């Protein structure tokens, strides 16, 4: 193709379901994939309209392509090319990229919130991955997107906490104190922990931080808190939602090992445990 000459405008598409999506890809020529609401619909999102109900199909193409959008097809250009999934014989953008492309064209806060929440509650991806993609697309300066992200993170934390409870039950770990704050007697606050075994001085902290522009500062604060606890003799086990979802048995082994090793360590400093 001569990249100095723009491709012809995309012609109108038929208005029926999946055939419409195939036609969109055909007009976008080779090396394109579906993204946005069309992709989310194919990924099985209940909150995305069916292909036949989508007014404008989003098609992702390489940045150098010179296709033009039409009333029925929106051309989205990608600087970083994602690995497509194949659904029903169609190339489809991965969920985080498809979400970002859909959100970029939406102004309805309730629709954005439903899509982001379903990405996590439906098990499609972790909150941090979604927020990273929204940040890459420079969407976190839109108030309705920020509000939806807050709901997304709350949903993600609730799911991660439930998986942590399930891990303790399913693998026969001793019951911890749940959701507590630790303090030195008459001293400073040492930070909140999702689970704490006081007899063994073992704490579990879920890392549900979202990657944003201030992530380095958040990570530094987390590291300082963890190092302070460990100087006091408290073992901190760091778990992520992804680890709990994909390898719960391995994480249970890590926690069990930390509990069993308590008898070989020097006694920890006395701390006050308060409900969080």
**Domain membership flag for residue 218:** yes
Contact between 193 and 203 under an 8 Å Cβ cutoff? The reply is yes
**Domain membership flag for residue 8:** no
The 10 Å CB-count burial string (b at 16+, else e) for 131-141 is bbbbbebebee
Give the pLDDT band of residue 11 (cuts 50, 70, 90): very low
188's CB contacts (< 8 A; 6+ apart) are none
Contact between 180 and 275 under an 8 Å Cβ cutoff? The reply is yes
- Residue 52: which of 72, 30, 32, 78 has the closest Cα? 72
Q: Is the pLDDT of residue 10 over 50?
A: no
Distance of CA 196 to the CA centre of its chain: 26
Task: Judge if 44 and 136 occupy the same domain.
Answer: yes
Instruction: Give the domain range for residue 63.
Output: 17-159
Q: Which of 126, 159, 192 is the last residue of a domain?
A: 159
Report the share of the chain in percent with pLDDT over 70.
Answer: 89
Task: Judge if 187 and 90 occupy the same domain.
Answer: no
Task: Judge if 24 and 132 occupy the same domain.
Answer: yes
- The secondary structure of residue 180, as a DSSP letter, is E
Q: pTM for this one?
A: 0.71
**Domain membership flag for residue 235:** yes
**Domain membership flag for residue 5:** no
Q: Given this model, what pLDDT does residue 224 score? A: 82
Residues 29-71 have pLDDT tens digits of: 777 899 999 999 999 999 999 888 888 899 999 887 777 777 7
Q: Given this model, what pLDDT does residue 257 score? A: 96
Task: Judge if 45 and 143 occupy the same domain.
Answer: yes
Contact between 56 and 72 under an 8 Å Cβ cutoff? The reply is yes
Does residue 209 or residue 259 have the better pLDDT? 259
Q: Which of 159, 194, 213 is the last residue of a domain?
A: 159
Task: Judge if 137 and 22 occupy the same domain.
Answer: yes
Q: Rounded to whole angstroms, how far apart are CA atoms 28 and 7?
A: 9
**Domain membership flag for residue 113:** yes
Q: How many domains does the chain have?
A: 2
* Residue 180, Cβ density class (10 Å: 0-12 exposed, 13-18 middle, ≥19 buried): buried
Neighbours of 161 (CB within 10 A): 18
**Domain membership flag for residue 7:** no
Task: Judge if 253 and 189 occupy the same domain.
Answer: yes
Q: Rounded to whole angstroms, how far apart are CA atoms 216 and 17?
A: 45
Residue 170 maps to which CATH number? 3.40.960
Q: 143-170 and 127-136 are packed helices; what angle lies between their axes, rounded to 10 degrees?
A: 160
Please tell me whether residue 86 adopts helix, strand or coil conformation: strand
Task: Judge if 130 and 182 occupy the same domain.
Answer: no
- Show the tokens assigned to 267: 């006694």
Distance of CA 260 to the CA centre of its chain: 33
Q: Is the pLDDT of residue 264 over 60?
A: yes
Number of H helices, E strands in the chain: 9, 10
Q: Which of 139, 159, 179 is the last residue of a domain?
A: 159
Instruction: Tell me the mean pLDDT in the region 161-166.
Output: 95
Task: Judge if 155 and 194 occupy the same domain.
Answer: no
- Residue 252: which of 177, 153, 190, 171 has the closest Cα? 171
**Domain membership flag for residue 207:** yes
Task: Judge if 58 and 41 occupy the same domain.
Answer: yes
The 10 Å CB-count burial string (b at 16+, else e) for 69-79 is ebebbbbbebe
Task: Judge if 65 and 137 occupy the same domain.
Answer: yes
Task: Judge if 237 and 110 occupy the same domain.
Answer: no
Q: Is the pLDDT of residue 250 over 90?
A: yes
- Show the tokens assigned to 208: 């549900």
- Show the tokens assigned to 95: 């969920």
Q: Given this model, what pLDDT does residue 103 score? A: 96
**Domain membership flag for residue 124:** yes
Task: Judge if 105 and 185 occupy the same domain.
Answer: no
Q: Is the pLDDT of residue 213 over 50?
A: no
* Residue found by looking up tokens 């939806």 in the block: 148
First-to-last alpha carbon distance for the chain, in angstroms, is 62
Q: Is the pLDDT of residue 217 over 70?
A: no
């Amino acid at each position: 193709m001569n990249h100095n000459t723009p491709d012809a405008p995309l012609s109108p598409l038929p208005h029926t379901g999946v055939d419409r999506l195939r036609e969109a890809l055909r007009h976008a020529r080779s090396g394109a994939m579906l993204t946005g609401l069309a992709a989310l619909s194919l990924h099985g999102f209940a909150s995305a309209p069916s292909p036949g109900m989508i007014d404008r199909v989003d098609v992702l193409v390489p940045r150098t392509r010179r296709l033009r959008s039409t009333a029925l097809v929106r051309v989205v250009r990608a600087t970083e090319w994602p690995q497509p999934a194949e659904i029903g014989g169609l190339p489809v953008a991965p969920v985080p990229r498809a979400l970002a492309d859909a959100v970029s064209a939406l102004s309805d806060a309730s629709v954005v919130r439903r899509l982001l929440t379903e990405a996590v509650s439906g098990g499609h991806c972790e909150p941090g991955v979604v927020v990273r993609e929204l940040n890459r697309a420079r969407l976190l300066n839109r108030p309705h997107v920020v509000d939806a992200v807050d709901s997304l993170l709350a949903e993600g934390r609730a799911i991660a906490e439930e998986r942590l409870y399930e891990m303790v039950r399913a693998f026969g770990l001793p019951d911890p104190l749940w959701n507590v704050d630790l303090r030195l007697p008459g001293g400073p606050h040492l930070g909140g922990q999702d689970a704490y075994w006081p007899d063994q001085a073992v704490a579990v902290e879920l890392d549900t931080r979202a990657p944003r522009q201030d992530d380095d500062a958040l990570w530094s604060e987390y590291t300082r808190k963890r190092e302070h606890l460990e100087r006091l003799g408290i073992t901190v086990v760091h778990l992520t939602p992804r680890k709990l979802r994909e390898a719960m048995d391995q994480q249970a082994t890590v926690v069990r090992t930390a509990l069993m090793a308590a008898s070989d360590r020097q006694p920890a400093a006395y701390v006050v445990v308060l409900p969080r």
